[in-house]
Chains A and B, each alone.
Chain A
């Protein structure tokens, strides 16, 4: 394995200590090329597997020689394709925002699933279902987008303003408390207005309900968010060395943090609004990626995007295979993968990044 080392000389440290950032560009390019190939294969498989199994050849024809007379082509175009594409995009969103959160806060437990994003979004959806029953699909997406922002901002604010700063435990506990509060209020609304199961289906539904509308909504987010993330990658690398170091190197950390937060809110908001509660991808994938490609965010961000997309596409296929013809909530499957990983991180002594 070839390892390149970026040496950054820090002017803030008195003893001229070199800070080494290990990167593995070869592994990264391997992941990017192999990952894209696997992702395309996964999307193909995701389109062909389901209540009706459709041959891959038919999938190809439906995409490139669409014939509206054939039912299978209709299923592919109207149901399976948006679902597979949404899964790939949302997996990428969650993984990239997790990577940015972990880098910015230097907190290994930072991730969308413990930041109150889902509950915030469920809270707004509960309000929408209860008080504005006629809300369109697009309207619901926007409501949940706003809610995701509210949840994450609350957790982040409480964590940052508390005595002793934003430690991993603080963040996890603040996330738990805010989630409990928001979900208590939304349960009260849901029970009083009899919309509990509607909300749960929206939330546990994963990407099953994704339509072209949702894909259209998240594609601009994908372009803006992922592009911004990639442009900012270098700054994230510097910031991930620590705020003091970053300042010493001349970075205006406030701007980087602000842009980072906007990217995170954009990506997680979009992800939650379409797929609901899909936990732990944003926690697991950045760690695995960092382990594979090193600490340079120019490599981490694209690689996590690919791996995150791949994981959600596969988990979504899994959700359909566990108990056919019923769908298992994809969030439950990602939680089954993610919880052991979370426990491993909780046990490990190394809590900084």
Chain B
């Protein structure tokens, strides 16, 4: 009993430290940008004593963007943790498995065929878009699951099939992309490489319900993830309906990555790296691993967004590219290490 108490206390301690880091990085990120606002002025503006311009920059541009980064980072981190648990493979990630590609394809179709252009996104379409992304992600996941199914789903087959599905969506995307005019093409290219482009409160409202609902649901299901990690036969012996729980968890992961892709584009590797770091910090128990993955994911994305906005300012590197450049080497390292 005491051991569990210790473990609990230690995990809470680590998670509060990450949360502290997130708050610090949020604060730093609010300062930085094309228009610099000194830390004291940020505090003043938040307290309500700032100039009109400072209020505009902070409340209408930077703050919604950072909150979106927070939500997406948390969502993708948890989605990755679920997928790694379900696939029993530490190399699983919504980007590598092709779920992001499916969502991305659906969103590109939606924007360019129903909307005409990105400029005229109305209130309604902002809220409809995550649903489209969800459908795309769901279709991709469905195909991956069905095609990997052969008297059960082995992790290897799941990943190989995912790579194939990814290639198929990429080919379909390039066909539509080359038909666009140069401006839309640029938009699509930036968005597909992962970019927080919706920087107003509407996008926050569109993402929030998904993340707020699905992360607690994942926490509730965490014990099934623990049991699944013991292997299918043991899990069945312990009384879990393995295939049913696996499908529900997959569906949650699809919902999370779909809604995140709708706002943040195809951010790859975040869902891979965040659970890994979280596992190193709090261990493999999913009750701790899931909130920790959410926190680590959010932290990484805020930092990546900060780098992307400021490194080559005034031009902005899409945040997904920053995450890929940081995450791909880590993935390669893991790949070389695992058997």
Question: Contact residues of A with B, CB < 8 Å?
Answer: 109, 113-114, 158, 161-164, 168-170, 172-174, 176-178, 180-181, 184-185, 187-188, 190-192, 194, 196-197, 200-201, 204, 279-280, 326, 328-329, 331-332, 335-336, 338-339, 342-343, 346-347
Contact = CB atoms under 8 A, between A and B. Distances in A.
B189 interface: yes
- Most chain B beta carbons < 10 A, residue from A174, A181, A194, A328: A181
B332 A178 contact: yes
Contacts of B160: 109, 168-169, 172, 346
B268 interface: yes
Contact of B164 (A163, A196, A204, A343): A343
Contacts of B233: none
The 7 residue pairs across chains A and B that have the minimum distance between CB atoms: A335-B171, A184-B324, A346-B160, A181-B328, A162-B336, A339-B168, A332-B171
B27 to A, nearest CB: 27
A280 B171 CA distance: 11
A334 to B, nearest CB: 8
Interface of B: 91, 95-96, 147-148, 150, 156-157, 159-161, 163-168, 170-172, 174-175, 177-179, 182, 185-186, 189-190, 193, 268-269, 312, 315, 317-318, 320-321, 324-325, 328-329, 331-332, 335-339
Contacts of A194: 186
B175 A332 contact: yes
Contact of B335 (A173, A191, A197, A332): A173
A284 B131 CA distance: 36
A177 B335 contact: yes
Given A177-B335, A184-B321, A346-B161, 4 more contacts: A162-B337, A177-B331, A187-B321, A196-B185
Contact of B312 (A187, A192, A279): A192
A196 B189 contact: yes
A198 to B, nearest CB: 10
7 contacts: A176-B163, A188-B321, A191-B318, A194-B186, A200-B178, A332-B174, A346-B163
- Most chain B beta carbons < 10 A, residue from A114, A200, A280, A339: A339
- Most chain B beta carbons < 10 A, residue from A113, A172, A188: A188
Given A169-B156, A346-B161, A339 B321 contact: no
A224 to B, nearest CB: 31
A109 B164 CA distance: 11
Contacts of B170: 335
Nearest to A184: B324
Contact of A200 (B159, B174, B317, B339): B174
Given A172-B160, A184-B328, A197 B186 contact: yes
Contacts of A158: 332, 335-336
Nearest to B181: A197
Contact of B328 (A113, A177, A196): A177
Contacts of B338: 162-164
Contacts of B185: 196-197, 200
Given A200-B174, A204-B174, A161 B167 contact: no
B179 A329 contact: no
Nearest to A338: B167
Contacts of A176: 96, 163, 166
Contacts of B91: 173
Contacts of A280: 167
A101 to B, nearest CB: 17
Contacts of A161: 336
Contacts of B172: 332
